[in-house]
């Protein structure tokens, strides 16, 4: 398996070498030809092109494409990614409407669409869902460099063309295309979190172009280093308000991400073939220190401490082959074959625990943990697009998809006492083996009833087989079929105004570790896995409109989801050895609804250069939900915010070609009701980001980027069922980055 990965890496490196030798030679030959003809002409830098577009008052709005698309979407472009504080894709999507990122401020790892947990969102790169190590089927966006992406699109309510998995929606990451002429850009940035110059780096280079009419290639390489310290404090109070415990935690991480992407294209009359190798590698070294004091005990015996060290490597290697062909000038056939292997190794994870005895800290135990996850995924999908004129103009799309996925987790935990005695603390849930095969077919047909009104019905049929086992239990097999219809409408009321509706059925496949047939006995209960879990299912409705003009954009989207079969851990009513037996089951039903607003206001219309480069933008999301548990208790979905807003401005000062971007994010969290009866609230706060780019000499820009400008921290308050309360504070400090970028 890893031999195959090495071959892919070899192909990628060979491609980089090709780009570094052929393209400069090609560029030099073109330059010599121009000089010989006496027609030498300097290439126009990308930044200058943007200035010229402004001077000529470009008529097309950035959101123009959305007006003619029946699918409710929102997106950001390469230009927006370049101008703002965006080292990783997670940094870019956090400002999009309906998005809430998990973790402390500055940790933009997991995306949550429409306030739902990360297990309800799916991410794909181009046409393929790329595997990751998470148990909730998520792809962590901090693993992907923003430099690799041309466009980010959130598909709010997909048509039958897209996989049905993901109740909250899908995030589509479009990779950068091969340029028409040889060109590229590079970025070198350095800075810090705790203090400037602590080893924070953000370096990327991308170059490529067409070689004649038949060939083209483009390569992107990125290296990011992010050492940061996350601090967390926790205080627990008794029912009367008296302090009970105090905890302090400091987690020092050193993240090193080395990422590479290559696109080799073969172009011919009527079609093109692309080979796209990809490598994402993240090294994470963690050193965490934790101290705790139990104020109910004597001062000489009230303290405990822990020190945890962990070295983790995440690596995704693979690639895709894409083929697009025009069978006729109007009939198009597209298909993609892809293989990706993800491996996550947690080696040498140790945790040493100490207890205070008579004012002396003594060693209590050492926990040693090793974990390895591996996920191999083969994908194939094909799509045929056929325009028809049968009474009315139509566009028929049909296709199929297959995915074969093998995944396992192998984890061991050993506890070592001071006398050398060791105990195996590995639980049955720590190891599983899964094989999931996916087959799907779809058909959809967009019919234009008038020049401005279209109807897009479709249906997608998905069949999934699952084989699951652990080290002890026998293999469990399962298969289920979903028929998911959809219908979308589009009314282009004017050239600038579109109304859309979308109604579809979606599923949400269970977490991987819930599907294993394990049985685990804890101190107070017995937990068993459930290979017979069904996906949660939902009917999704979106209604909205978009108005887009050169200097003005306004979008409104209302949505409602009726959800059935949300997976929860419930008491089965069975007792073994005096302990209750709990199992994950499809027992929760509920709904999620909200409204997403977007605005953009430009000032080109004023005719004044000093304000013409100013653009104000904003988005707001209002959310609500209700989930009914098996017990009949009703509560909101877990950790769903009530309100999210993003505000920002872009200012381009033409005479000095200076670009300033500023953005602010505000999240008003909702109330989280735990199964234990505890109620958790997170204090709302603002987070600010700032970026400044300044033209230096031809092709060169200097930049300054500040993430989490005011160094805001996340504050969480929990009121426990027994009357006690807990207050937690967590922060990861601001990031300042200074550097140079160059376009050629």
DSSP-assigned states of every residue in 414-464: EEE-TTS-EEE---GGG-EEEEEEEEEEEEEEEEESSSSEEEEEEEEEEEE
Return d(Cα 593, Cα 561) in angstroms, integer.
Answer: 6
What CA–CA distances, in Å, run from 368 to 251, 304, 365, 424, 529?
18, 19, 10, 10, 25
Q: What pLDDT shows up at residue 270?
A: 92
CATH architecture of 2-369+376-517+524-563+589-743: Beta Barrel (2.40)
Q: What residue spans define the domains of the chain?
A: 2-369+376-517+524-563+589-743
Q: What pLDDT shows up at residue 60?
A: 65
Q: Yes or no: say if 459 and 485 are a contact pair by the CB < 8 Å rule.
A: yes
Q: Yes or no: say if 302 and 293 are a contact pair by the CB < 8 Å rule.
A: yes
Listed residue (323, 315, 320, 345) closest to 131, CA to CA? 315
CA 284-288-289 angle, to 5 degrees, is 170
Token pair for residue 318? Answer: 């693979």
Q: Is the pTM of this model over 0.95?
A: no
Instruction: Give the per-residue SS3 of 465-497.
Output: EEEEECCCCCCEEEEEEEEEEEEEEEECCCCCE
Q: What pLDDT shows up at residue 352?
A: 92
Q: What pLDDT shows up at residue 676?
A: 64
Taking 50 as the pLDDT cut, the residues of the chain under it are: 1-58
Q: What pLDDT shows up at residue 582?
A: 83
Enumerate residues 6+ apart whose C-beta is below 8 A from 583: 527, 528, 529, 530, 569, 570, 572
- Beta-sheet pairing, 121-125 with 169-175: parallel
Locus of tokens 């070294």? 285
What CA–CA distances, in Å, run from 520 to 156, 229, 408, 469?
38, 35, 18, 14
For 608, other C-beta atoms within 10 Å of its C-beta total 11
Listed residue (436, 411, 430) closest to 131, CA to CA? 436
């Amino acid at each position: 398996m890893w031999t195959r990965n090495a071959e892919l890496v070899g192909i990628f490196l060979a491609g980089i070498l090709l780009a570094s030798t052929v393209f400069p030679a090609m560029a030099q030959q073109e330059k010599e030809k121009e000089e010989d003809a006496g027609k030498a002409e300097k290439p126009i830098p990308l930044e200058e092109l943007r200035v010229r577009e402004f001077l000529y008052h470009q008529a097309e709005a950035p959101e123009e494409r959305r007006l003619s698309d029946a699918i409710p979407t929102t997106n950001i472009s390469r230009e927006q990614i370049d101008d703002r504080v965006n080292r990783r894709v997670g940094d870019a999507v956090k400002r999009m409407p309906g998005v809430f990122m998990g973790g402390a401020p500055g940790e933009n790892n997991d995306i949550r669409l429409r306030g739902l947990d990360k297990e309800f969102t799916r991410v794909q790169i181009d046409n393929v869902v790329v595997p990751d190590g998470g148990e909730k089927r998520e792809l962590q966006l901090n693993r992907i460099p923003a430099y690799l992406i041309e466009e980010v699109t959130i598909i709010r309510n997909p048509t039958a063309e897209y996989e049905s998995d993901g109740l909250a929606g899908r995030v589509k990451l479009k990779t950068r295309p091969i340029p028409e002429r040889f060109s590229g850009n590079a970025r070198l940035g350095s800075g810090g979190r705790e203090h400037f110059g602590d080893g924070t780096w953000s370096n990327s280079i991308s170059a490529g172009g067409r070689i004649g009419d038949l060939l083209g290639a483009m390569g992107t390489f990125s290296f990011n280093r992010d050492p940061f310290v996350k601090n967390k404090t926790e205080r627990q109070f008794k029912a009367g308000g008296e302090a009970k415990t105090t905890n302090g935690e400091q987690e020092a991480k050193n993240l090193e991400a080395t990422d590479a992407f290559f696109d080799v294209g073969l172009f011919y009359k009527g079609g093109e073939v692309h080979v796209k190798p990809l490598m994402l590698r993240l090294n994470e070294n963690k050193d965490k220190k934790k101290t705790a004091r139990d104020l109910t005990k004597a001062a000489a015996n009230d303290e405990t401490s822990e020190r945890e060290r962990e070295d983790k490597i995440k690596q995704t290697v693979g690639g895709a082959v894409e083929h697009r062909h025009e069978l006729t000038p109007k009939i198009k056939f597209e298909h993609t074959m892809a293989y990706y292997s993800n491996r996550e190794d947690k080696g040498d994870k140790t945790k040493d625990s100490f207890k205070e005895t008579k004012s002396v800290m003594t060693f209590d135990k050492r926990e040693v943990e090793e974990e390895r996850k591996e996920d191999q995924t083969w994908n194939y999908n094909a799509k045929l697009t056929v325009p028809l004129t049968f009474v009315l103009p139509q566009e028929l799309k049909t296709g199929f998809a297959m995915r074969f996925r093998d995944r396992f987790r192998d984890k061991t935990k050993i506890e070592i006492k001071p006398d050398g005695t060791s105990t195996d603390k590995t639980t049955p849930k720590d190891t599983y083996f899964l094989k999931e095969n996916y087959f799907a077919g779809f058909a959809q047909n967009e019919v234009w009833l008038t020049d401005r009104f279209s109807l897009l019905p479709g249906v997608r049929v998905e069949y999934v087989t699952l084989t699951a086992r652990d080290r002890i239990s026998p293999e469990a097999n399962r298969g289920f079929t979903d028929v998911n219809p959809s219908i979308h409408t589009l009314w282009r009321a004017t050239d600038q105004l579109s109304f859309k509706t979308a109604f579809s059925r979606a599923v949400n496949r269970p977490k991987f570790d819930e599907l294993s047939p394990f049985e685990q006995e804890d101190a107070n209960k017995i937990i068993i896995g459930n290979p017979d879990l069904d996906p949660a299912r939902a009917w999704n409705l979106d209604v909205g409109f978009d108005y887009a003009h050169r200097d003005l954009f306004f979008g409104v989207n209302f949505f409602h989801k009726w959800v059935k079969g949300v997976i929860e851990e419930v008491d089965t009513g069975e007792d073994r050895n005096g302990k209750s037996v709990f199992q994950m089951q499809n027992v929760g039903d509920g709904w999620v609804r909200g409204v997403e607003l977007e605005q953009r206001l430009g000032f080109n219309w004023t005719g004044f250069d000093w304000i013409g480069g100013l653009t104000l933008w904003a988005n707001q999301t209002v959310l609500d939900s209700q989930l009914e548990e098996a017990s009949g208790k009703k509560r909101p979905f877990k950790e769903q915010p009530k309100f999210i807003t993003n505000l920002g401005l872009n200012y381009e000062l033409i005479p000095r070609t200076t670009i300033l971007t500023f953005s602010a994010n505000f999240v008003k969290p909702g109330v989280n009701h735990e199964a234990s009866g505890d109620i958790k609230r997170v204090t709302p706060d603002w987070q600010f980001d700032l970026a400044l780019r300044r033209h230096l000499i031809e092709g060169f820009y200097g930049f300054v980027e500040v993430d989490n400008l005011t160094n805001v921290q996340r504050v969480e308050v929990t009121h426990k069922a027994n009357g006690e309360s807990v207050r937690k504070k967590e922060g990861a400090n601001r990031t300042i980055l200074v550097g140079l970028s160059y376009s050629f």
